[in-house]
Structure 1
Amino acid sequence: MKINIIGTSGSGKSTLARRIAAELAIPYIEMDRLYWRPNWQGTEDDALWSRLENTLAATEDWVLDGNYNRTRPVKWRNVDLVVWVDYGFARTLYQAVSRAFRRAWHKQELWPGTGNCESFRRSFFSRESIIIWTIKTWRSNRERYEADMRNPQYDHIRFVRITRRQDAETLIASLKAQYEKGFAFPVSGNPNVN
C-alpha cells in the first residue's frame, strides 16, 4: 500500500502519517527530510525528484508525508491513496503556532544531520516563518486539493479528506483492517472517502 498524506503546514499530516505507518508497520518517509540540507538550503528539483524516486522504489509499501506539489509526477505515479488533512483554519493555525513554539523552545534538530533548528526569530519574526507560510497557503491549498480530487488525470488515485479527528480514527481502523486482510481497498466506513 502506497499512501501520501498531504495538507497545509501545521495541519497534523506528519502526526497522522507516522501513526498510519506505525499501525500498518510500513516505512514512513518524510518529504522535508528529503528536501532540506544543512543551513536551511533546499535541494534542487532534479536531485529531489531522483532522491524521492529512489526512496519510494526501495520499498513496496510506504506512507509519504508531504506536499511538494511539483513532485506529483513521481509521488503520485503509483500511489494508491492520498489522504488530505483538511482541518479548519483556526485549528491549523493554532497547531502551527504551538508546534513552532515547542520546536523553538527545545531547539530540536528537525532533520538529522542538517543542524536545522527552529528559532523564535525564524518562526515568529521572519519572512521564512512557518506560521506566515501556513496563513498564506491554507486557502490556496484547499482550492488545489479540491481541484486534484476532481481531476481526471488522478482517477487512478483514491482520495480521502479528513476534516475531523474522528475521520482520522475511522481511516486508521479501516486501513489496518484492510491491510491485515491483504486488501488495500476499498477503504470503507469514512464519510469523506471520495
Structure 2
Amino acid sequence: MRVAILGNSGSGKSTLAQRLAARTGAPALDLDTFAWEPGQVAVPLDPARAAADVATFCAAHGAWIIEGCYGELIRATLAHRPILVFLEPGVETCLEHCRARPWEPHKYASKAEQDAKLAFLLDWVRAYDIREGELSLAAHQALFEGYDGPKRRLTEPPDAATLAALLGEG
C-alpha cells in the first residue's frame, strides 16, 4: 500500500499517517523531514534535492505512507500511483488540532520552543485559503483534482470505517 496525504497544517495528516502505519507496518514519512535543512530553523532545503529525496524514499520501499502540506513533494510521489488523500476538515478544526498538538521532538528542541511558535502557526493555518503557492488550498485542490489515480477527499477526521475503506478492508 502506498498513500500520500495532503492538507493544511493541523488537518490530521500525521495522525492519519501514524494510524495507517500502525495498521499496515508500512513506513511513514513526514515531509517536513525533507523540506527543511537539518538542524536549522526555517531554512528550506533546495526544492530539487527535496523532491529527489522523496523519489528515493518512494523507490526504496514497496509500501509507504507519506504526509505533508508540500504540494510539489506530494507531486513527486504520484508517479508511484499512491492513494492520494486530501484532508480538508476546515480551518477551525485545523486550529483546534494545532492548539492540542503534542510536542514534536523531530521539529523542536522542547515543547516550550514549539509553544513559542504557536501564534505564528495559527496565523499561517488561518491563511490557507488566501495564501498562494504550493502550500495553499488552491494548489492542494488543483493537485488533487489533476491526479487521475486513486484518491479520497476527507472533510472530517477519519473514523474506523473510513480507515478500513482506505486500507481496502471494507
Q: Same fold (TM over 0.5)?
A: yes
Percent of pairs with identical residues: 22
- Residue 143 of structure 1 and its aligned partner are, at CA, apart by 3.3
Corresponding residue of 1:181: none
Q: Which has the larger radius of gyration?
A: 1
Corresponding residue of 1:130: 121
- Do the aligned residues in 1 keep the contact of 2:13 with 2:67 (CA within 8 Å)? yes
Q: Taking CA–CA contacts closer than 8 Å with sequence separation of 6 or more, which of the two structures ends up with the larger relative contact order?
A: 2
- Residue 61 of structure 1 and its aligned partner are, at CA, apart by 0.7
1:169 pairs with one of 137, 160, 163? 160
Distance in 1 (CA, whole Å) between partners of 2:144 and 2:150 is 9
Amino acid at match of 2:23: E
Corresponding residue of 2:151: 159
- Do the aligned residues in 1 keep the contact of 2:3 with 2:84 (CA within 8 Å)? yes
Corresponding residue of 1:192: none
String of CA shifts for 1:144-167, please: whole Å, max 9, x gaps.
Answer: 33333432xx21x211111123x4
TM-score, normalised with respect to structure 1 = 0.72
- Residue 98 of structure 1 and its aligned partner are, at CA, apart by 2.4
- Report SS of the residue matched to 1:26: coil
Corresponding residue of 1:191: none
Distance in 2 (CA, whole Å) between partners of 1:81 and 1:2 is 6
Corresponding residue of 2:69: 67
- Report SS of the residue matched to 1:137: coil
Give the 3 Å change call, closer, same or farther, for CA 6–143 of structure 1 in structure 2. same
Corresponding residue of 2:29: 29
Amino acid at match of 1:137: Y
- Residue 19 of structure 1 and its aligned partner are, at CA, apart by 0.4
- Report SS of the residue matched to 2:117: helix
Corresponding residue of 2:82: 80
Aligned length: 163
- Do the aligned residues in 2 keep the contact of 1:4 with 1:64 (CA within 8 Å)? yes
- Report SS of the residue matched to 1:6: strand
Give the 3 Å change call, closer, same or farther, for CA 53–148 of structure 1 in structure 2. closer
For the pair 1:147 / 2:142, whether they are aligned, the reply is yes
Q: From the two aligned structures, give the one with the greater helix fraction.
A: 1
For the pair 1:6 / 2:19, whether they are aligned, the reply is no
Let me know the Cα RMSD of the aligned residues.
2.4
- Do the aligned residues in 2 keep the contact of 1:38 with 1:115 (CA within 8 Å)? no
For the pair 1:121 / 2:112, whether they are aligned, the reply is no
Corresponding residue of 1:16: 16
- Do the aligned residues in 1 keep the contact of 2:4 with 2:74 (CA within 8 Å)? no
Question: Unaligned 5+ residue runs, structure 1?
Answer: 179-187, 189-194
Distance in 1 (CA, whole Å) between partners of 2:141 and 2:52 is 28
Distance in 2 (CA, whole Å) between partners of 1:21 and 1:147 is 27
Amino acid at match of 1:134: V
- Residue 78 of structure 1 and its aligned partner are, at CA, apart by 1.3
